[in-house]
A = this chain, B = another copy of it.
Amino acid sequence: MKDRLSDTMESVKSTLSPLAPLVKRRWFKGLVMAFILFGAFWGLPAIARAADPTGTDTFNANPNSAVNMAWTLITGFLVWFMQLGFAFLGAGLIRSKNQTNYWTKSFMDFCIASLGFWAFGFALMFGGSKLFPGLDDGNAWIGFSGFFLSGGAYDVSTIMMWFFQMVFAATATTIVAGAVAERMKISAYLAYAFIIGALIYPLYGKWIWGGGWLGSLSIAGAAGARDFAGSSVVHMVGGLAALIGAAMVGPRIGRFNKDGTPNNIKGHNLPFVVIGTFILFFGWFGFNPGSTLAATDLRISVIAVNTFLAGVTGAVVALYWVFAKTGKMDIIMGCNGSLVGLVAVTAPAAYIAPWAAVLIGAIAVPFMFATNHVVERVLKVDDAVGAVPVHLGGGMWGMLAVGIFADGTYLGVKGLIAGEIGQLILQLVAIGTVFVWVGVTAFLTFWAIRKSIGLRASREEELQGLDIPEHGIEAYPADSSITLGGSTPVVPKALPVTR
């Protein structure tokens, strides 16, 4: 027994040993120090400065806050679940030799982006908005309160808001994974994930949603660009970052011929593609209706139905469009059609009637095809899963659609059909803003990563697939055989780990 105990102590000691080299590294020390400093200023005195951390006062002031809180959290859970949808969709569209790599990116990116959004992003985005307690400091361009959810931000409403916004930031982040799949290094991708969550996403978000200049810009009677649930904030930002990332990392080996004509690289699992689309569709029921942050706003039923109708119409139009052209029922196009319909209806979902949602979903399909054509044939960029046509193309159309189809019943937003032109102009300004801001910052981000840790796996790794070189784990071992070395990552040095 005593032997076993000393064995155990030895084990624990050796378990902790990897920390030793880590804490010796300078960058690591710096990072930890920065976090501690932030913690000291914002984290530790949190309790004393907390606004309403139990919610008793909030509930007493407004008993309806209970149903609104439940609604916002549950729809937020659904939005988060879209992460799994993106993972399935992209994984199905790429080859089996890069599955471990892709699933790692899909799981870890929201982990890392959300920590960036917790530490910095949320404060940059909503500081100064005064929407909830602890968000007092900031201006029309940038916020600076709410870091680490501490101090006055330790409040049930502020924290609810953080959760709902965080799942949106995570969605924007993961859109990029598919476009750069099969050749971007995992470490490079995870570094990007932190920066988009901490910086790129939050600042555009600030301008239109966080009390910033874009949301209050007034033109021809229209009071601010409007993006109800994120056609621009989430999908254009993610889609444009995807385009830039894919362009900078370069096309996969074999994707383009010498004369610039493209080849098609088949995915490994068609069911995954449809499963992913199903889960994304499911999550969209949280994405759009949840964006009221309130169930007392009964418009949520209209929003849910508009979302649904645009999605199914997109699918039907895309499927039969390709069928008319090729005679084949291409379900990959059907899935992409439903997704681009959903992306497009995201900005206008609350401002329109159901018949307009059907139109918006239908028109989104040629937007997707045209964007795809530009990306693949004009720009000659390798977007491995078609993320850019769906998210950037659909997102642009969605922003425009607000300026066209908003019928004036909800919050006074009026498009062309309600006789107003101002909103459409504001929407164009918002589109331009995304292109400038994300164009510049995403370029700088990927450029800096290329210069430091490098963007792209080696040619050998790419040909072999990234799973073994980067992760040491085969996704589908032909034979689930037994290898030497146990599952503990901290095995005694004498034993080779062959996994």
Contact B80–A285 (Cβ < 8 Å): yes
Per-residue B-contact encoding for A298-335, CB less than 8 Å = 1, 0 else: 11111011001101110110010110111011111111
Docked Cα-Cα span, A151 to B456, in Å, equals 56
Contacts of A54 in B (CB 8 A): 297-299, 409-410
Contact B148–A354 (Cβ < 8 Å): yes
Contact A374–B8 (Cβ < 8 Å): yes
Per-residue B-contact encoding for A183-197, CB less than 8 Å = 1, 0 else: 000110000000000
Contact B65–A298 (Cβ < 8 Å): yes
Docked Cα-Cα span, A326 to B499, in Å, equals 11
**Partner-binding segment picked from A136-144, A216-224, A447-455, A482-490:** A482-490
Name the CB-closest residue of B to A335. Answer: B107
Judged by a CB distance under 8 angstroms, whether A201 is at the interface is: no
Contact A301–B410 (Cβ < 8 Å): no
Judged by a CB distance under 8 angstroms, whether A118 is at the interface is: yes
Contact A159–B377 (Cβ < 8 Å): no
Contacts of A50 in B (CB 8 A): 353, 409
Given contacts A278-B84, A299-B54, A370-B12, contact A264 B409 (CB under 8 A): no
Docked Cα-Cα span, A277 to B84, in Å, equals 10
Docked Cα-Cα span, A488 to B53, in Å, equals 52
Judged by a CB distance under 8 angstroms, whether A262 is at the interface is: yes
Partner pick for A378 among B8, B76, B157, B495, CB 8 A cutoff: B8
Contact B324–A150 (Cβ < 8 Å): no
Q: How many Å from the CB of A335 to the closest CB on chain B?
A: 7
Which residues of A in the span 429-480 have a Cβ within 8 Å of any Cβ on B?
470-477, 480
What 12 new A-B contacts, CB under 8 Å, besides A12-B366, A70-B74, A70-B300? A18-B322, A47-B408, A66-B294, A81-B282, A95-B480, A99-B270, A108-B329, A148-B354, A262-B487, A329-B471, A373-B488, A373-B490
